[in-house]
Amino acid sequence: MKKFARDIYKNRVWLLMVLPGTIWLLIFSYLPMFGQVLAFKKFRIDPDGFFASVMNSEWVGWSNFKYLFSTDDAWVITRNTLVYNIIFIVVGLLAAVGTAILLSELMNKRLSKVYQTSILFPHFISWVIGSYFVFTFLSTEHGLLNHVLGWFHIDAVSWYSESKYWPFILVFMSLWKGVGYGSIVYLASIVAIDRTYYEAAMIDGATKWKQIKHVTLPMLKPLMIILTIMNIGRIFNSDFGLFYQVPRDSGALYSVTNVIDTFVYRGLMNLGDIGMSTAAGLYQSFVGFILVLITNYIVRKVDEESALF
């Protein structure tokens, strides 16, 4: 006990630094986690407020989770979610790092600035508006793409009912919106790399490519690992707008656009069941959590410095 008190005293500066953040986390993140028990309850409203409601609702075991596994479709959506996220993580990482390196190498710094501003733009546009843009390209009647196909005497494609194109469209749109944001994280990191490393490499006669390979990438490695670990934690979640608004909720595309989040949203429309939606969230988080622990464990075995914790 005495040792504990001494440790606290010794670490007082650090503790003081994490204090505001910790208070925030406790109030805004940990306190509401109480609600997760609803995943195991049949929610009934009690006049004495939410706590009473939670306490007095009946335990129903795992039955709120059942719908996530009970049908063939449920497996299809799990597969979709996983496959899309793996592609997004890999392609997103390559694109973001690649763009960041290219931006940092660009000689004309003023142009680089303009480019940075532009690629960040899609981040501002909500998927609702984004779905309009996609529509102007893909609309069967007036769409730009069908116009272009017309020039080459190719028959118009009914884009919103042909599921085979959508995996590409979705990956493309995800990149379009995310690459600017991602590349700026990496760019900030590249900018912070000590220039003397490059100078040393130059003296050693390293080519540009070697400099990137042996200086830039190793320096970015910790960040890449951390961001990937975090993305793996959200591998069962997906960007709702991308999968719901962009394909315009078209039934013909469900086989390739239905992911866990959209499945849950549609499935609970007629039920309005807060227990079942909590269950879905808990399931997504829990799987993510396990995957993160595993990944982190592996990373720690290989390279302790890069591990998250």
* Burial of 226 (C-beta count, 10 Å sphere; 0-12/13-18/19+): middle
- Per the CB < 8 A criterion, the answer to whether 181 and 123 are in contact is yes
Q: What's the gap between Cα 3 and its chain centre?
A: 42
Distance set, CA 278 to CA 23, 65, 132 (Å): 25, 9, 31
By the rule CB under 8 A, 267 interacts with other proteins: yes
Cβ nearer to other proteins, comparing 1 with 107: 107
* In the complex, minimum distance from the CB of residue 50 to other proteins, in angstroms, rounded to a whole number: 4
Least Cβ distance, residue 87 to other proteins (angstroms)? 19
Q: How far is the CB of 77 from other proteins (least distance, A)?
A: 8
Interface stretch with other proteins, choices 36-44, 81-89, 162-170 (CB under 8 A) = 36-44
Distant-in-sequence, close-in-space partners of 257: CB < 8 Å, separation ≥ 6: 80, 163, 166, 170, 243, 247, 250
Cβ-based burial of 5 (10 A; exposed 0-12, middle 13-18, buried ≥19): exposed
Contact status: 113 vs other proteins (CB under 8 A): yes
Binder of other proteins out of 1, 5, 269, 302 (CB under 8 A): 269
Q: Which stretch binds other proteins (CB under 8 A): 85-93, 163-171, 211-219?
A: 211-219
Contact status: 62 vs other proteins (CB under 8 A): no
- Start-to-end C-alpha separation, the chain: 26
Q: What's phi and psi for 258, nearest 5 deg?
A: -80, 120
40 SS3 class: helix
Q: Please say which residue, 167 or 285, places its beta carbon nearer to other proteins.
A: 285
Q: Does the protein bind other proteins through residue 308 (CB under 8 A)? A: yes
- Largest Cα–Cα distance in the chain? 84
| 219 contributes a contact to other proteins by CB under 8 A | yes
Q: Is 47 in the site for other proteins (CB under 8 A)?
A: yes
Tokens representing 172 are: 């493309």
Q: How far apart are CA 43 and CA 48, in angstroms?
A: 14
For residues 119-178, which are near other proteins according to CB under 8 A? Answer: 119-126, 128-130, 132-133, 136, 139-142, 158, 160-161, 176
Number of residues that bind other proteins (CB under 8 A): 145
Q: Which is nearer to other proteins, 167 or 214 (CB)?
A: 214
Angle of the 72-105 helix axis to the 109-120 helix axis, nearest 10: 160
The least CB distance from residue 153 to other proteins, in Å, is: 20
Looking at the Cβ atoms of 170 and 274, the one nearer to other proteins is 274
Q: Which of residues 65-94 bind other proteins (CB under 8 A)?
A: 66-67, 70-74
Q: Which of residues 170-199 bind other proteins (CB under 8 A)?
A: 176, 179-181, 184-185, 187-189, 191-192, 194-199
Q: Does 107 bind other proteins (CB under 8 A)?
A: yes
Q: What share of the chain is helix, strand, coil (3-state, %, to 5)?
A: 75, 0, 20
